[in-house]
Amino acid sequence: MRKAPCLVFLLCLAAAGCGQRRGEIVSIANSDEPVISSNKAAPPGNRTGNAQASNASDQVLRTQTVSGTFAGWEMGDYLWARIQVPGRETISAQPGPSPIDLFLDANRGRPITVEIATVRTNVPEAGGPTEIRRITAARNEAGTADAWWQSLSAADRAAAQHRLETGALSGR
């Protein structure tokens, strides 16, 4: 009979250990604030989880410039920026190369203007070539994403990166 309490104890210990590393599948389903330490599902060299960073084999189908308010992030297989545009449905698009993602995150709830390219790119999770929207440039009334990034100190750049990783990339 001593084996049963011992097994129950071990089972309880194992169950208690599940979800201790926030960001695991079990804890994502049961946590208000999951933290994902890295985005292992993202294609190589693409830390923000965007389907194929702008790539020479992408076919640009059309482009548009849109002004609206950056409403935040959606995280599925990839990271999607949500732009609320007056008189239209909210637009979801993948942020292009950094610092666009960091700039958008710093401008949550503020008016921005973005250039969006609709491209055909390889998205393995969708079964191959897929049409997506990608933000290729962003600006606000103060300037462009690149100018903003260049104006930041090393400490401010690290803080912006940390804010994105613990916010948008963690699923919050």
- Every domain range in the chain assigned CATH 2.40.50: 59-170
CATH code for the structural domain at 59-170: 2.40.50
CA angle 146, 152, 156 (to 5 degrees): 125
Q: What is the pLDDT of residue 57?
A: 75
Q: What is the pLDDT of residue 44?
A: 31
| Mean per-residue pLDDT of the chain | 74
79 three-state secondary structure: strand
DSSP letter (8 states) at residue 125? G
Instruction: Lowest mean pLDDT of 6-10, 28-32, 147-151, name the range.
Output: 28-32
111: cis peptide before it, omega within 30°?
A: no
What average pLDDT score do residues 53-64 get?
A: 79
DSSP letters, 84-121, are: E-TTSPPEEEEE-STTHHHHHHHTTTSEEEEEEEEEEE
Q: What is the pLDDT of residue 60?
A: 93
